Structure 1
Amino acid sequence: MNKVVVTGGAGFIGSNLVDVLIAQSIQVIIIDDLSTGKLENINKKAVFLQHDLASISQKELISIFSDIDIVFHLAALARVQPSIEDPFPYHHVNVTATLNVLYAAHKSNVKKVVYSASSSCYGNTDIIPQTEDDPTNPLSPYGLQKYIGEQYCRMFSHVYNLDTVCLRYFNVYGERMSLEGAYCLVTGIFARQMKQGKPLTITNDGQQRRDFTYVGDVVQANILAANHHKELNGEIFNIGNGKSISINEVADMFGGKKVYGEKRLEPFETLANNQKAKSILGWRPLGDLEEWIKHYKIELEI
């Protein structure tokens, strides 16, 4: 690949992906509406275009995609609880924008779209670890919307002959993750509370378990999927570390007092069976949450 588009390239995962692509001398165009992304995340060597991908015209998007090899579609509103409280803006970004991107990619003869999906589509399941063939049962509009995006990708591969691949992320953490807002990632919430000298607030009893995946590993999964020599035609891959850790254990890694707050409907455990990504993409997750937290605490001086 020589020239790519990264939607959501000012966001947490997208900006990390952009940095690695540019380090590999790949030309990058970022499309982001800055609703959650930040200007300071944008690599100065990338071309930045500010657009709402759900509202941009097909004509303009096709023009942007005209000489693009790969589209990495990461733009999303990625919070479960707010999507329950108000699903409409989430549908606008997570479904309408995805359809807009896929259709423009098809019309522009883009070689492949790499779609950022979510393990939220599994919902609450007794099947542990989760494989890509397990039933889906989303518990939120967000989880359903990301699953609809997967189905659009597969349909575009089979009907429009657009090569697509779907990467189901499991609880991504790392550099540039948000520390803001009540519904940011639990690692971000704990980091913010530690920095403010506050106790760590835990929903439910803290025994719920999550598969925490380092952002650098997610970036590598995107690049491996983009470079894969065969057409993937909507194939789905779990992108998770393959180890589950309880929220109480994460709190202990940060240290400090724990307090237990509101009850919330959420899956008890997420755990990826990542063998498919390992065998087909050659992906190997290397991140270690506990070691990362140690270094992050030093960086934040907490």
Structure 2
Amino acid sequence: MIVVTGAAGFIGSCMIARLNEDNFNHIIAVDDFSFPEKNKNLEGKKILERVEREKFFEWLDKNHLEVEFIFHLGARTSTAEFNREILAHLNTEYTKKMWNATIKYAIPLVYASSAATYGLGELGYEDSEVIIPDLKPLNPYGESKNEFDIWALKQERKPMFWAGLKFFNVYGPNEYHKGRMASVVFHAFNQIGKTDAMKLFQSHNPDYKDGEQQRDFVYVKDVVDMMMFLMYDRKAKNSGIYNVGTGEARTFLDLTKSTFKAMGKKEDISYIPTPEDIRDKYQYFTEATMTKMRSIGYKKPFTSLEEGVEDYVKNYLSSESRY
């Protein structure tokens, strides 16, 4: 059995699809399954059992001998969530329980951290564990993720193999339920579909022209490939915290032009002021340093932004079978 928490979510459901591709069909899907829109992400997936999030540790106590690996991807992921009690419960304390359970039962663990831990990137975007205590996330979500990373690194007892993954700007199928937290590709597709045009935020930084703000956009298929690699490799000496991106920052203009092209529409791009309430916390550049992931043997090339957007738009967003 392989456990995937956050199973009905964006990355979790794509991870289950990827596991199924490699004939891992005894999947234990863990989540809060009370959201019908998210549950669509699991249709057609081969799953052995669904376990409610709050009952999982009770389930694990009874079934741990059959569990081979745990992907803990469940979390409250909204950067607009300011209820610190919810974030502490779902992102920090729950993950501590998962950490201790995997030690107790000798189960390898991959868990979701976040590139939101890097804040404005004052210390760069290198996944060095030395800088983690000094990072300054911009919101309570990023703080909750960084708090767990700091806690994990301080622990004397650790899982037999573990990896914390700092996901950068992930896009791709099964993010349809995320609303405003969905990727810019998803929002561009919808806006272009309705208006034949796309509005991007202006730059309020003299070092960047309008539309040339940059992000490390990573296709979800690359993300799950990296997680599969970690599951297959799982050497104790390679345990640690890793960036999950492409290592190449691209502009919002590049992304938008790629979306117009994939949709077969003429470009019509304009700019609107960045809302003042987020202007002082707006990131103008993020780029994952991917040396560490490469250094442990991950060799697959990353999907280019153009290739990823084309696949997402043509084979999912524009398709009747989007999931």
Superposition TM-score, scaled by structure 2 size: 0.80
Instruction: Give 2:213's match in structure 1, choosing from 208, 222, 226.
Output: 208
Equivalent in the alignment of 1:253: 258
Aligned to 1:118: 114
- Distance (Å, rounded) in 1 between the aligned partners of 2:147 and 2:138: 14
Counterpart amino acid of 1:39? N
Larger Rg: 2
| AA aligned opposite 1:99 | K
- The match for 1:140 is 139
The farther-off stretch of 159-168 and 128-137 is: 128-137
CA contact (8 A) 2:16 2:45 kept: no
Which residue number in structure 2 is paired with residue 79 of structure 1?
Answer: 78
Q: Secondary structure at the match of 1:71?
A: strand
Change (3 A) 1:129 1:116: closer
Letter in 1 for 2:39: L
Q: Which moved more, 1:66-75 or 1:176-185?
A: 176-185
Shift of 1:180: 4.8
Distance in 1 between residues matched to 2:33 and 2:56, nearest whole Å: 18
Structure-2 separation of matches of 1:117 and 1:67: 26
Q: Residues 166 and 236 of structure 1 are in contact (CA less than 8 Å); yes or no, is this contact kept in structure 2?
A: yes
Pick closer, same or farther for the CA change 1:283–1:151 going to 2, 3 Å: farther
| Contact 1:211–1:240 (Cα < 8 Å) also in 2 | yes
Match of 2:307 in 1: 291
Structure 1 runs, 4 residues or longer, greater than 4 Å off: 126-129
Residue 164 (structure 1) aligns with: 162
1:93-119 Cα shifts (integer Å, max 9, x gaps): 211221222222223332x10112111
Q: Which whole-Å deviations, capped at 9, do the CAs of 1:246-292 have from their partners, x for residues lacking one?
A: 22332232233333241422322110110110121424342111123
What's the offset of the Cα at 1:152? 4.0
The alignment's C-alpha RMSD in Å is 2.7
Structure 1 residue 128: deviation in Å? 4.9
CA distance in 2 between counterparts of 1:57 and 1:297 reads 36
Give, in whole Å, the separation in 1 of the partners of 2:180 and 2:224: 26
Contact 2:215/2:286 (8 A) holds in 1: yes
CA distance in 2, matches of 1:276, 1:267: 23
Which 10-residue stretch deviates more, 244-253 or 30-39? 30-39
Contact 2:118-2:125 at 8 Å conserved across structures = no
**1:233: Cα distance to partner?**
6.9
Amino acid at match of 1:56: K
Structure 1 residue 9 and structure 2 residue 7: aligned?
yes
- Give the fraction of aligned pairs with identical amino acids, expressed as a percent: 26
Tell me, in whole angstroms, the C-alpha distance in 2 between the residues paired with 1:204 and 1:92.
37
| Greater alpha carbon shift after TM alignment, 214-223 vs 259-268 | 259-268
- Identify the structure with the greater helix proportion: 2
Question: Which of the numbers 289, 292, 299 marks the counterpart of 1:276?
Answer: 292
Candidates 224, 228, 241, aligned match of 2:229: 224
Q: For the residues of structure 2 that align with 1:199 and 1:63, how far apart are their CA atoms?
A: 54
More off after superposition, 274-283 vs 27-36: 27-36
Question: Structure 1 regions of 5+ residues with no counterpart?
Answer: none
- Do the aligned residues in 2 keep the contact of 1:153 with 1:165 (CA within 8 Å)? no
Which residues in structure 2 correspond to 1:190-209 (within 5 Å)?
A: 190-197=188-195, 199-205=197-203, 206-209=211-214
Distance 1:140 1:117 in 2: 14
Find the counterpart in structure 2 of residue 186 from structure 1.
184
For 1:213 and 1:115, the matched residues in 2 are separated by: 18
Gaps of 5+ in 2: 204-210, 261-267
1:4-30 superposed Cα distances (whole Å, 9 cap, x missing partner): 101112221111211221222222211
1:210: how far off?
Answer: 0.4
Contact 1:62 1:107 in 2 (8 A): no
Q: What are the Cα deviations for residues 178-198 of structure 1, in whole angstroms up to 9, with x where unaligned? A: 365223222222122122226
Q: Which amino acid aligns with 1:178?
A: Y
Q: Secondary structure at the match of 2:3?
A: strand
Q: Which amino acid aligns with 2:153?
A: R
Distance 2:141 2:190 in 1: 24
CA distance in 1, matches of 2:146, 2:299: 22
Instruction: Provide the TM-score with structure 1 as the length reference.
Output: 0.85
Number of residues of Structure 1 aligned to a counterpart in Structure 2: 294
CA separation of 1:119 and 1:231: change in aligned 2, threshold 3 A: same
Q: Secondary structure at the match of 1:165?
A: strand
